[in-house]
Amino acid sequence: MARLVIVSNRVPDVSENSGPRAGGLAVGLADALAPGSLWFGWSGERLAARSDEIHSIVAGGVTYATIDLAEDDYRAYYLGFSNATLWPLFHMMPSLVSFDSAGYDAYRAVNEQFARALLRLIQPDDLIWIHDYQLLGVAATLRRLGVGNRIGFFLHIPFPAPVLFDLLPPAEELLQGLLAHDVVGFQTEPDRGHFLAALRQRGVCVQGNDAWHEGRGLRSIVTPVGVDVDEFNRLAVRAVRRVEARRVVESLAGRALMISADRLDYTKGLPARFDAYGRFLSRFPERRRRISFLQVAAPSREEVDQYKALRDELDYKAGAINGEYSDFDWVPLRYMTRAAGRGLLAGLFRIARIGLVTPLRDGMNLVAMEYIAAQDPLDPGVLILSRFAGAATLLPEALLVNPYDVDQMAEAINTAMLMTLEERQERHEALLGRVRRHDATAYSRSFVAALSQGDG
């Protein structure tokens, strides 16, 4: 049986005595990581100069191999082209895009560094599965180095419409990089459609969901990332017994909890979300003391000016809401800018009557799925979800909102507050069934099955 080789920008934290820390990509790939698999990526270490040294550790039968990046490359490749250029453009926010050729040169150099290091580790029959926007050029370099293995790529973020993708000066080269794969996977049908349209626009032969270019066939698939439903539910049930969760329940004093949990990122729509909550408190004064909103916003890319400005804006908005609406024994908004453990979040999701997930654009958004998985089916909460999250294509029974429409979001909060138990149960049953059908196991198995098949 062929060995699976995972390639991602970062490798999960591991030790010899335990597997990867649960969360994110590690959960999505858990079913695929059989003993003998290899996971390769950046160590998180930044050096004064480039290094070709590979570090490895074996945990749970899986080898985790890493390389270090030079400090200058990290800034230009990661903070620069990956997150100042590709991230905002792929999330359809062209006004936030910053491009310079030096950043792209570093991106190409790091992708080549990944490929050359990986070349020393792979075996002739390995299946290679590359992940996400930071590594769009790795496969093309591997092909130039003579690698004939089956190589797949999965894009975790949206793929932009061609009219936006074409704004990238290296758009042509990035598409050529994607064409070096045998299978390219997307979260949603619109993402795949944008990719295929971009290929057609450049004269690539596209028939159905397949493409042919320079004698190579490429298959495009849609296989959304999911969560381990039962594991997360068990985590939530255990977590509500923890001291921290009991303290939250006591502090609510019978009020409904509304929760949001995000990275502190401009794509997550936090300023508009705070405005919507303020609008809700203004328009529905009879609800004011019946709700408490907890926003957990873990710091992200704190070295980038746009993220510093976002944090300042949210600090101001949170202060304004609490200043205007707080009472002697009630604070309407609790705003945390530090990370919360996965277990504690699971417990808070189970306690929360409303899950508010309103990104301006998102590839999928696993928080929405985790909120559903955490609920008590006998007394479930209500999910309010942005229609521009990939998860909205899978979860139509949520209260879908336009995250740019502050009034619509305020009305959705009010609707969720008033929803009957019967309707909550009906919606949750349907949502839970969908989350189960598209869980982490379905994601990894469907991609690996496609990658294991022959061309086309």
Q: Which of 91, 131, 156, 438 is catalytic?
A: 156
Q: Please say if 166 is a catalytic residue.
A: no
Instruction: Give buried/exposed letters for 106-128 (b at 16+ CB in 10 A, else e).
Output: bbbbbbbbbbebbeeebeeebbb
Q: Which of 132, 228, 362, 439 is catalytic?
A: 362
Q: Please say if 156 is a catalytic residue.
A: yes
Place of tokens 């800034």: 75
Query: Where does residue 229 fall: left (phi above 0), alpha (psi -120 to 50 degrees), or beta otherwise?
Result: alpha
Place of tokens 């996971």: 39
Residues designated as active site: 156, 362
